[in-house]
Structure 1
């Protein structure tokens, strides 16, 4: 009785929590919406050379991606509000009763951060090789005769493709002066 006279009640709070729990996928919609707005804002405020060749300029892909993110966010929100629910993972390679493998996640994060720190002083080919080799080792490969060679080839190929073919300059490091 007192809840009606004072205007405060725990029932609306419980109903609100229940509604939010039933529509938790709206959080993904908000994330997609924010990401779409960020991408579109960056694309539309980008400094672009006026003299462009052809109809497709540097803004085209970000505008398409940002618009796509907004459309997906809206469609997902409509689906969730109509009662749609995401399906639980049922893949045969995923055991949801097992805890997360935080050791592997932290090791991969460490390998990635190490490569990010080493890319300037050592260059992309060396840092990339360490990244590929470290990721393979962290994920369970113990082929010390093969993994470093594959990592070096992948790193050098990636460097050559980005630096020479795509025109995206990557730091070469001290070894690129020798090669």
Structure 2
């Protein structure tokens, strides 16, 4: 008496699901090619003294990305799998919180649109307050004050101490 065991049909989709790390390998390969292309086509006007020039680090990084991409692909094709992170307390059976994601995306997009006309101090305050709101904070009296303080502190650190000019907007014209 023989019993037949059915093996599930292997579809391309199931193979890709089992070998999803190949996508990371392809991303690293693409990034490595991009970095190498950019480094090798870089227009360098300065005369180079010694073996290390402005192309050296990008070339080394590009080659390292290509090497890691190939090693990862070989490991995955040989059956290697990444370990699940044990420290995360995320319930994967729960659906994604698209409301929060969309609120944060809207806040960042709003900051990008408002930074030129309003300047960083105002748009940054809206960014910090909007991010806190999107992530669940509902302290309507405290959050705007903290956001304004963070925005002004960030503006002055970048603009005055680090020398990175940020648009000041109408608020800085008054001050």
**Class of the TM-score when normalised by the shorter of the 2 chains:** 0.7 to 0.9
TM-score, scaled relative to structure 1: 0.75
In the alignment, is residue 32 of structure 1 matched against residue 22 of structure 2? no
2:110 equivalent to 1:114: yes
**1:139 pairs with 2:135:** yes
How far 1:97 moved relative to its partner? 1.0
Residue number in structure 2 paired with 1:175: 171
Q: What CA distance in whole angstroms lies between the structure 2 residues aligned with 1:171 and 1:56?
A: 36
1:48 and 1:81 mapped to 2: Cα distance? 40
1:125 is matched with which residue?
121
In 2: Cα distance, 1:170 partner to 1:62 partner:
28
Q: Which deviates more from structure 2 when the two are superposed, residues 26-35 or residues 165-174?
A: 165-174
Mapping for residues 70-81 of structure 1, pairs under 5 Å: 70-81=66-77
- Equivalenced residues, count: 167
Residues of 2 paired with 1:172 and 1:75: CA distance?
Answer: 48
Structure 1 distance, partners of 2:155, 2:60, is 28
Shift of 1:28: 1.0
Q: Deviations over 1:87-134 (max 9, x none)?
A: 345445201111111111111111111111111111112111111110
- Secondary structure, counterpart of 2:169 in structure 1: coil
- Secondary structure at 1:100's aligned position in 2? coil
Give me the CA root mean square deviation: 3.0
Query: Does 124-133 or 21-30 show the bigger shift?
Result: 21-30
Change (3 A) 1:164 1:101: same
Bigger mean CA offset, 143-152 vs 157-166? 157-166
User: Partners of 2:84 and 2:101 in 1: how far apart?
Assistant: 22
List alignment gaps of at least 5 residues for structure 1. 1-12
| Match in the other structure for 2:5 | none
Change over 3 Å in CA distance of 1:99–1:77 after alignment to 2: same
How far 1:29 sits from its partner (Å)?
A: 0.7
Q: Does 2:14 align with 1:22? A: no
Match for 1:148 among 123, 138, 144? 144
Q: Distance in 2 between matches of 1:175 and 1:61?
A: 41
